Amino acid sequence: MIHSVRFIALLDTNVIYPIISRDLLFWFAYYDLYTPKWSNNIFDEWRDVMIRKGVSESDAINRTNKANLAFPDACVKNYESLIENLKLPDEKDRHVLAAAIKINANIIVTNNLKDFPASYLDSFGLKAKSLDDFFTDIIDLNQDKAIEAFREMVLHKKNPPLDAFVVLDQFRKINLNDTANYLHALL
């Protein structure tokens, strides 16, 4: 059950980028709806994606640094020795599972569910969820705080300024339909 900062979620690169999904992840964490975790490997991938999408290297580094400053305990350390013995459909995802195992995470939040077979994750006491399912679980269990966090996030959208309905449309554009619909119903 997702109900507090005691709930630990390892965030895969594909949920940290794009910006709009990362913003809601970070605002939900700021409101103590869960504890975010990531690794240097995940942030290296995030930096690479940003650079491929046209973000300058210095801006990409600045963004990852800001995330680590905002959540100083989020970066998982000393998980590398676990990577080699893990078996996943895509070997490049083993570092994600290793970091989750190291910190005894409750969940891996990823949009590549096929790369994290449920039966294999079960052997480590882990589950994987899509970002849309993760968000709707958080909202379902913490409606008041979740909508407060969402509203605060929207207030901080200043470049350009956005209203809640534009942000909800942005969620829909990245397939966060259930999240957008749930938040919309609560507004």
Report pLDDT digits (tens) over 145-156: 999 999 999 999
**Mean pLDDT of the residues in the chain:** 95
Q: What is the mean pLDDT of residues 113-135?
A: 97
pLDDT at 6: 78
107-129: average pLDDT: 97
DSSP classification of residue 33: S
The yes-or-no verdict on residue 1 having pLDDT over 50 is no
**Whole-number pLDDT of residue 5:** 60
CB burial of 169-183 (b: ≥16 within 10 Å; e: otherwise) equals: ebbeebebebbbebb
Report DSSP letters for 82-101, one per residue: HHTT---SSGGGHHHHHHHH
Q: Give pLDDT, residue 171.
A: 97
Question: Does the pLDDT at position 4 exceed 70?
Answer: no
Q: Is the pLDDT of residue 27 over 60?
A: yes
What is the CATH superfamily name and number for domain 8-141? 5'-nuclease (3.40.50.1010)
Which pLDDT does position 161 carry in this prediction?
Answer: 86
Nearest to 55 by CA among 92, 19, 15, 27: 19
Whether 51 contacts 61, CB under 8 Å: no
Enter the pTM of the model.
0.94
Q: What is the mean pLDDT of residues 41-60?
A: 96
d(CA 50, CA 57): 8
